[in-house]
Amino acid sequence: MDRMLVVVFNTENKAYEGKKALHQLEDEGSIVVYAYAIVAKNADGTTTVKQSDDPGPLGTLVGTSLGSLIGLLGGPVGLAIGTAVGLVGGGTVDLDNARVGEDFIDDVKQELLPGRFALVADIQEDWTTPVDTRMEAIGGTVFRRALAEVKHTVDDEETAAMKADLAQMKAERAKAQADRKAKFDEKINQLDSKIQAWLEKAKQRREASERQAKAKVEVLKAKAAALKAKAAAKHI
């Protein structure tokens, strides 16, 4: 199952120990790590990316569930730019794109206080014990949530509802007195603009979801190829 993992530590060194443990678990075959980042919670409430995985299909974080979650953990004051990667806050702070519930973000925020650090990772795991045992042993507090599917049905239903309202307004405008038509025109234009903005946002969510799915497939292929090459090297 694909999950978002957040492990909060009291020190930066512990967060790097957590990253090392995460990769050891992957080497052991317990999990798959699609992407990760180590973030710091600053005194002003922003989050700074201290380190992330090497550049690759998900390496830039921009537009990914991981990037969106990091942006949301920064809170309303925004997202600081990390020195290790170029993570732009404006395009990442999107609860829908993060694909986790607001309650999960609130739970993490209560633990990720200023001066603390977090290992944030998009992973695949079949059971939770390996990660929990390893992270708790080095002082980490573990949070995880299965990644939700992009809600295409909700997007379609919301669009249909707004279009129905628009059709109703246009029907009423046709029967309205001349002095009322201008007010109807204003409302119709506002709702039409809202519909177009909603359609564009829904399109962006779907495209982002498709990109992430393809990127994860490429990550799995690359890891499988690396294991195959390693196995072949042993027989030389």
118-130: pLDDT as tens digits: 999 988 888 889 9
- Supply the range of the domain harboring residue 57: 2-148
6 class by beta-carbon count within 10 Å (0-12 exposed, 13-18 middle, 19+ buried) = buried
15: pLDDT strictly greater than 90: yes
Number of domains in the chain: 2
Per-residue pLDDT, averaged over 54-61, amounts to 47
Point out the domain boundary residue: 108, 129, 148: 148
Per-residue pLDDT, averaged over 5-12, amounts to 96
Same domain, 121 and 62: yes
80: pLDDT strictly greater than 50: no
- pLDDT for residue 120: 93
- pLDDT for residue 53: 66
- pLDDT for residue 63: 55
Same domain, 127 and 174: no
Same domain, 127 and 214: no
Point out the domain boundary residue: 148, 172, 191: 148
Report how far residue 177's alpha carbon sits from residue 34's, in angstroms, rounded to the nearest whole number.
Answer: 60
135: pLDDT strictly greater than 60: yes
Same domain, 37 and 127: yes
Point out the domain boundary residue: 148, 167, 183: 148
134: pLDDT strictly greater than 90: yes
Q: What is the pLDDT of residues 141-161, one digit of tens each?
A: 999 888 765 455 546 666 777
- pLDDT for residue 61: 54
Q: Who wins on pLDDT, 20 or 224?
A: 20
- pLDDT for residue 51: 81
pLDDT band at 215 (very low <50, low <70, confident <90, very high): confident
